[in-house]
Chain A
Amino acid sequence: MNFSKLKKQVILKGGQILDPLTKTIVKRDLLIEDEKIKAIGKVKTTKSAQIIDCKNLIITHGFCDIHVHFREPGREDKETLETGSMAALAGGFTRVCVMPNTDPPIDSPEVIRYIIDRSEECPIYIHPIGAITKGQDGGELTEMGAMLAEGAVAFSDDGLPVTDSSMMRNALDYATMFDIPIINHAEDLCLKKDGVMHEGIISTNLGLPSSPDITESNMVHRDLSLTELTGGRLHVPHVSSAKSLEHIRSSKKSNKKVTAEVTPHHLFFTDNDLQNFDTNLKVAPPIRTKSDKKALIKGVKDGTLDCIATDHAPHTIEEKEGTFDLAPFGMIGLESCFGAVNKVLVKENNFKLLSLIEMLTTKPRKIMGFNNNLLEIGTSAELTILDPKEEWIFSKQDIQSKSKNSPFVGKNMYGRVKFTINKGHISSK
């Protein structure tokens, strides 16, 4: 991947500017000067200007992924904030929120400070999500106020559910003071037991221990009820089942404080794809049936699902190359995200490109309270340039993450990120 500093003057020439905030697509040139957006429309060029040919390309807000795992501190062998940043840029992401299940977990203002300081050195904006409970052990609330002051943007024990309902109630309640979302990884661990995939005809065929969809939806229902009770804000991560969607859809009718996300892999794969025991498809929550996938696509189209988040979860080769039972849960997803979701949603299911871009830009930013006015003159340039129709095959070379655990290798993609401009730098393939 090419990564270089922006020249003083950069002109994005001949492209279509898709603004998800104003919901417009117009053919304009764009001038970036001194890393900021200087002009849109008639652009005066100078001899020293760097010209980027954007013919047939779409220029839009840089993507924002509010659910990634960058493994720092503690497991820098899997990913660091730098390598994670490169993976993000390759996928068109300029801004991410990192989950706190690191070692030590991000459960104190000090560790939040660490992430904030480290992220200054990184080519993308990295926002820490703080843990809900100290040590993520479900025992005591973290110092949310202090962590927010240091730069935390939300709270989650992701990786693990908040099993104790009174603790979840307290977290939602406490967080109402700060108007930030609580994100709960919904999984009934008792019902899950040692399940490694979705309980269905496929798991029966494979003889693998499995867990049914209500392992997730029961807890989603609980979380939604607690949200109503407390008046707090809930964001449901990686929704995987039709049943969960039903609960969320119903709740959203009356509760504006509920948001939800979906991963590219839950939209792309079904449990049938696990027939060859590929450990890269071993994820939590598991990839479910064709009808769950259909329901998720419908949930995207009708707005029940607000945004796309990859749940980028790097694991080392050694960890993933063993037998299915021993492999850790998770797959990387930043680099393959756009090609995959664009294919499933826009190409195969008549979703509008503009709506998809919203789910990758304005909607996640709105959930986290980030600025959405990215095409305003004078703003620091934070842009993604993509080819919405390019057909390509995802390969190992497209992976920028330190880890390689992606089941998308070899799969057909539709649409491709060509350039990502952020923090005064431009990256491209």
Chain B
Amino acid sequence: MVSPKIKNIMNTEAIDRSIIRLAHEILERNHGAEKLMLVGILSRGEPLAVRLQSLIKKISGTKTPIGFLDITFHRDDFRDRLVVPQVKGTDINEPIDDKIIILVDDVLFTGRTIRAAMDELNAFGRPQKIQLAVLVDRGHREIPIKADFIGKNIPTHEGEHIKVLLKEIDDKDSVLLTQSRD
């Protein structure tokens, strides 16, 4: 029998502090909120993007436009697996041309999700820039993708998994490192 070992890497306060820092970094790098648009990658990129939107408003006074991506149809493993899309679905109802898109996701791992997201964004127009904000970067990229804004770096080994829990979906905030022992 395999029993996973679970370690709480970030609690509510740690997560909040990281997200506040991310909001500041995004504004600093881009010299303000002009032209910014947040795009959360479903499912947990959505609440993170919404939190960032409200923090950016608090700090800069600007309410950045926000959108969401369901990357199911753009996955690169469509030859191997059939995945049925989320009920919520993609929702980009503003033109993205010439905007600075901040893609938001909970965990950056192989990078394939981000590639799919960028592929999907292509269907909506041509942004001026695309930048990536993630709560956790756990390493092990399989394609050349880099995050611009990182909440926390959590290097992981094989057999380890990162699970992000967010209040809006999971009733609590937590970043868990799980391990399956063989």
Asked if the two chains touch in their complex, CB atoms less than 8 Å apart, one says no
Binding site for A on B (CB under 8 A): none
Binding site for B on A (CB under 8 A): none
